[in-house]
Structure 1
Amino acid sequence: MKKSLRLFSKVVVLGLFFSLFFSSNVSAQGVFNDMHPNMESYQSVMALSDADIIHGFSDGTFRPYDQVTRGQAAKMVVRAINLDPGQEVPNPNFSDVPTDHEFYPYIAVLAFHGLMGGYGDGNFGINDKLQRGQMAKLIAHAYNIEKHPWKSGQFKDVDANAFYAPYLTGLLEKNITTGTSPNEFSPGKFVDRGQMAIFLHRAEQTRGKNP
Structure 2
Amino acid sequence: MMKISPFSSKQVANPLTFYDLLNEENTQLKEVSFLKLRIIFCVLLITLIPSPAKGNSVELSENLPAFPDIDGHWAQTYIESLNEKQIINGKINGKFSPEDQVTRAQFTAMLVRILQLTPVNANYFDDVSGPLQNEISAAYEAGIIKGITPKRFAPNRNITREQMAVMLFRTYNILHNTYYQTFITAPYKDHRHIHFKKEVNAIYQLRLMTGTNQGEFRPKQTATRAQAAKTVYLLGGEE
Shorter chain as normaliser: what TM range?
Answer: 0.7 to 0.9
1:197 alignment partner, one of 204, 229, 234:
229
Q: Show structure 1 runs of 4+ deviating over 3 A.
A: 1-11, 145-151
1:150 and 1:118 map into 2 onto residues whose CA distance is 28
Q: Could you say what secondary structure the match of 1:199 adopts?
A: helix
1:79 and 1:110 map into 2 onto residues whose CA distance is 10
> Is the contact made by 1:56 and 1:62 (CA closer than 8 Å) also made in structure 2?
yes
Q: Which has the larger radius of gyration?
A: 2
1:24 and 1:161 map into 2 onto residues whose CA distance is 45
1:58 alignment partner, one of 85, 92, 101:
92
1:9 and 1:116 map into 2 onto residues whose CA distance is 63
Question: Aligned residue for 1:34?
Answer: 69
Give the 5 Å matches for 1:160-175.
162-163=195-196, 165-175=197-207
1:113 and 1:40 map into 2 onto residues whose CA distance is 32
Give the 5 Å matches for 1:125-140.
125-140=154-169
Q: Could you say what secondary structure the match of 1:143 adopts?
A: helix
> Is the contact made by 1:156 and 1:183 (CA closer than 8 Å) also made in structure 2?
yes
TM-score, normalised by the number of residues in structure 1: 0.77
Establish whether residue 106 from structure 1 lines up as the match of residue 138 from structure 2. Answer: no
Q: 1:143 to 1:7 in 2, by over 3 A?
A: farther
> Is the contact made by 2:122 and 2:134 (CA closer than 8 Å) also made in structure 1?
no
Q: 1:121 to 1:59 in 2, by over 3 A?
A: same
Shift of 1:7: 9.1
Question: Aligned residue for 1:18?
Answer: none
Question: For residues 160-183 of structure 1, what are the alpha-carbon distances to aligned partners after superposition, in whole Å with 9 as ceiling and x for unaligned?
Answer: 8723x2122332223211102352
Give the 5 Å matches for 1:44-83.
44-83=78-117
> Is the contact made by 2:103 and 2:155 (CA closer than 8 Å) also made in structure 1?
yes
TM-score, normalised by the number of residues in structure 2: 0.68
1:119 and 1:3 map into 2 onto residues whose CA distance is 77
Gaps of 5+ in 1: 16-20
2:224 and 2:230 map into 1 onto residues whose CA distance is 10
Amino acid at match of 2:60: S
Question: Aligned residue for 1:155?
Answer: 188
The count of corresponding residues between Structure 1 and Structure 2 is 194
Gaps of 5+ in 2: 1-35, 52-57
Which structure has more RCO (C-alpha within 8 Å, separation ≥ 6)? 1
Question: Aligned residue for 2:12?
Answer: none
Question: Aligned residue for 1:178?
Answer: 210
In angstroms, what is the RMSD of aligned CA positions?
Answer: 3.0
